[in-house]
Amino acid sequence: MIGFKLLIKSIIKNIPGIEKIINLHKSTGGTDEARYCYSIWLRHLCLAHKNGFKIPSTIAELGPGDSLGVGIAALICGADKYYALDVVKYWNKEKNIKIFEELADLFKKKENIPGPDEYPRVKPDLDNYEFPIQILTEKHLKKMLNSKRLDSIRNALVNPNEDKGKIVIKYFIPWNDTNVIIPESVDMIYSQAVMEHVTELNHSYESMYKWLKPNGFMSHTIDFKSHGTSGRWNGHWTYSDFEWKFITGRKKFLINRAPHSTHMHLLNKNGFKIIRDIKTTLNSGIQRKKLTVKFKDISNGDLSTSVCFIQAVKRSPMN
């Protein structure tokens, strides 16, 4: 049942025209801090490297949020094309430039990766938070951090969506059409705390398959928690579709409530081979008998998986 506070919030969110009075999509949280972006990018990169992937040249990110900072960190490390796909444009040029300068500084200083002491809720965890000098070697960093290259990144941030310089940054907001990105042109697609919000999940995985080059790979952290819609971390699975529609109100998206196994199924169905699946589990949630009809048969694994980190590679159509 919907609690009193959530009921009031939901009534407000359902008032016709409310989205014109209050901004229902104010900000997203993490990527307005350079250290957060640095930490996220290096976590995805380190785990990709463990699976044998090189620093990608062309990257695409779903849901960058408050800044393009995670993509900027990837550009500083060696990528030269970055595509950002979101449904709301939260960021602005000034914020991106500020985060870029701070990120360049962090890489110049070879700062360790901010870990659980600084970002306790961020996943995935790493075994080692030291600067990954085995991936970003002195020689590589010298090339990537030269002032001409950094100027190219700065220019691309000032003039995004131009295809002129050595560095290209393009954004697609909102993106609905798979054709926004050329098929088989991307080396790596990643997201952080986004896939739980995506309304058209199958369409998104299908599009990502099309965008990736053969053997291209993906890296996603997915947070299955209730995002403030319940006092219990997995209480969102107790609401009927009717209650859920009311809770969502006029927001363009909230969370899609898809559990871990739905993502696994869609990844397999859309041609991906899962090569890493790190689950964080919590046993403190709701009792099974409280689940709404739609979710009553979810596995115990789904019911206790609060976050997962997935890396997957594009299978060739023959496999």
Ligand X SMILES: C[S@@+](CC[C@H](N)C(=O)[O-])C[C@H]1O[C@@H](n2cnc3c(N)ncnc32)[C@H](O)[C@@H]1O
**Applying CB under 6 A, which residues contact ligand X?**
28-31, 62-65, 85-88, 192-194, 197-199, 253
Helix (H, G, I), strand (E, B) or coil at 44: helix
Per the CB < 8 A criterion, the answer to whether 84 and 171 are in contact is: yes
| Rounded CA separation 315/319 (Å) | 6
| Rounded CA separation 42/46 (Å) | 6
| Rounded CA separation 3/27 (Å) | 25
* Least distance to ligand X, CB of residue 142, Å: 29
* Least distance to ligand X, CB of residue 239, Å: 20
Q: Between 150 and 212, name the residue whose CB sits nearer to ligand X.
A: 212
For the chain, the first-to-last Cα distance in angstroms comes to 46
Q: Between 30 and 285, name the residue whose CB sits nearer to ligand X.
A: 30
* Residue located via tokens 């849901």: 63
- Residue 199 has φ and ψ, to the nearest 5°, of -75, -45
Residues 6+ apart with CB under 8 A from 318: none
Greatest Cα pair distance in the chain: 61
Q: Between 27 and 146, name the residue whose CB sits nearer to ligand X.
A: 27
* Least distance to ligand X, CB of residue 118, Å: 15
* Least distance to ligand X, CB of residue 158, Å: 22
Per the CB < 8 A criterion, the answer to whether 97 and 157 are in contact is: yes
Helix 241-248 / helix 4-13 crossing angle, nearest 10 deg: 60
* Least distance to ligand X, CB of residue 137, Å: 27
Q: Between 172 and 246, name the residue whose CB sits nearer to ligand X.
A: 172
* Least distance to ligand X, CB of residue 309, Å: 13
Q: Between 71 and 144, name the residue whose CB sits nearer to ligand X.
A: 71
Q: Between 205 and 237, name the residue whose CB sits nearer to ligand X.
A: 205
* Least distance to ligand X, CB of residue 63, Å: 3
Per the CB < 8 A criterion, the answer to whether 216 and 187 are in contact is: yes
* Least distance to ligand X, CB of residue 103, Å: 15
Q: Between 141 and 190, name the residue whose CB sits nearer to ligand X.
A: 190
Per the CB < 8 A criterion, the answer to whether 90 and 63 are in contact is: no
Q: Between 6 and 62, name the residue whose CB sits nearer to ligand X.
A: 62
DSSP conformational letter for 251 = -
Q: Where are the alpha helices (DSSP H) in 189-291?
A: 201-211, 241-248, 260-269
| Rounded CA separation 150/215 (Å) | 29
